[in-house]
């Protein structure tokens, strides 16, 4: 099941023209302007609809609301993270971590989702050192890379404050 927090993140990043023309390849130069304009003019309506039915993919929302035609092809099944990856975003910008415990180890009332890039160093360390990533080498790599990046930045920041 997909989570609803991805909707705002995806819509704030996706390049609609590139998506229609180059990734989904469902438009050509003759009709791209009209389709793109229609989607962008109604983006708030689309966002509202998608948040109501957040388990759907972006393509499904657009097809079901008449913005684009349904065509039986692989593009219809692209997940939003695949699209953002194709548009040059890094996993830290589109993959969410769902936290069920607070920093004291107490169970939260509901899962709190954060982009990988928004996790604090201490949180990343707890995830990596804990048993949260067993059999998840892809997530282990992403979180380890993020921890290294943040640790380097923190050290550079400390060095600048010393001098």
Alpha helices, H only, 65-133: 80-86, 121-129
Strand partners, 113: 98
Distances (CA, A) of 128 to 40, 80, 99: 40, 25, 13
pTM of the model: 0.89
CA–CA gap between residue 146 and residue 117 (Å, rounded): 7
| pLDDT tens digits, one per residue of 89-135 | 999 999 999 999 888 889 999 999 999 999 999 999 999 998 889 89
Cα–Cα dist 122/116, whole Å: 13
Q: Say whether pLDDT at 163 is over 70.
A: no
Tens-digit pLDDT profile for residues 35-61 = 999 999 999 999 999 999 999 999 999
Tokens standing for 99? 């936290």
| Inter-axis angle of helices 43-52 and 6-13, nearest 10 | 150
- Which residues lie closer than 8 Å to 156 by C-beta, 6 or more apart? none
Please give the pLDDT value at position 39. Answer: 98
């Amino acid at each position: 099941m997909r989570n609803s927090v991805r909707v705002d993140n995806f819509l704030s990043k996706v390049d609609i023209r590139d998506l229609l023309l180059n990734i989904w390849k469902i438009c050509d130069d003759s009709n791209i302007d009209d389709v793109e304009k229609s989607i962008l003019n109604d983006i708030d309506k689309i966002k509202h609809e998608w948040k109501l039915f957040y388990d759907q993919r972006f393509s499904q929302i657009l097809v079901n609301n008449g913005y684009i035609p349904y065509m039986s092809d692989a593009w219809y099944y692209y997940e939003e993270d695949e699209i953002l990856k194709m548009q040059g975003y890094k996993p830290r910008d589109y993959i969410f971590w769902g936290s069920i415990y607070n920093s004291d180890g107490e169970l939260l009332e509901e899962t709190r989702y954060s982009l990988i890039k928004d996790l604090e160093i201490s949180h990343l360390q707890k995830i990596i050192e804990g048993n949260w990533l067993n059999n998840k080498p892809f997530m282990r790599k992403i979180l380890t890379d993020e921890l290294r990046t943040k640790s380097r930045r923190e050290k550079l920041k400390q060095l600048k404050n010393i001098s």
